Amino acid sequence: MDTKQRILDEALTLFSEKGYANVFVGDIAERVGIKAPSLYKHYKSKKAIFDAIIDKMNESFAEQAKAMQINGSDAVADAEIYKGLPEEQLLKLGRQFFLYFLHDDYNQKFRKMLTLEQFHDEDLAKIYSRIYVDDPLSYQGMLFGFMVTSGILKTDNVQIMTLHFYAPIYYLLTICDREPDREPEALKLLDDHIKQFDRIYGREN
Q: What are 38-43's contacts with CB under 8 Å, separation 24+?
A: 39/7, 42/3, 42/4, 42/7, 43/4, 43/7
Contact (CB, 8 A) for 176 and 186: yes
Q: What three-state secondary structure class fits 43?
A: coil
Q: 199: Cβ–Cβ under 8 A, 6 or more apart, which residues?
A: 205
Of positions 10, 11, 16, 42, contacts DNA by CB under 7 A: 42
Q: CB-wise, 22 or 196, nearer to DNA?
A: 22
| Residue type at position 28 | I
| Residue 178 in contact with a second copy, rule: CB under 8 A | yes
Within 76-135, the residues that bind a second copy by CB under 8 A are 112, 115-116, 118-120, 125-126, 128-129, 133
Of positions 76, 164, 183, 187, contacts a second copy by CB under 8 A: 164
Tell me, what DSSP letter sits at residue 181?
G
Q: 21: Cβ–Cβ under 8 A, 6 or more apart, which residues?
A: none
Q: In angstroms, what is the minimal distance from the CB of 70 to a second copy?
A: 27
| Residue 45 in contact with a second copy, rule: CB under 8 A | no
Of positions 175, 183, 187, 202, contacts a second copy by CB under 8 A: 175
Q: In angstroms, what is the minimal distance from the CB of 58 to DNA?
A: 22
- Residues near DNA (CB under 7 A): 3, 23-26, 29, 33-38, 40-42, 44-47
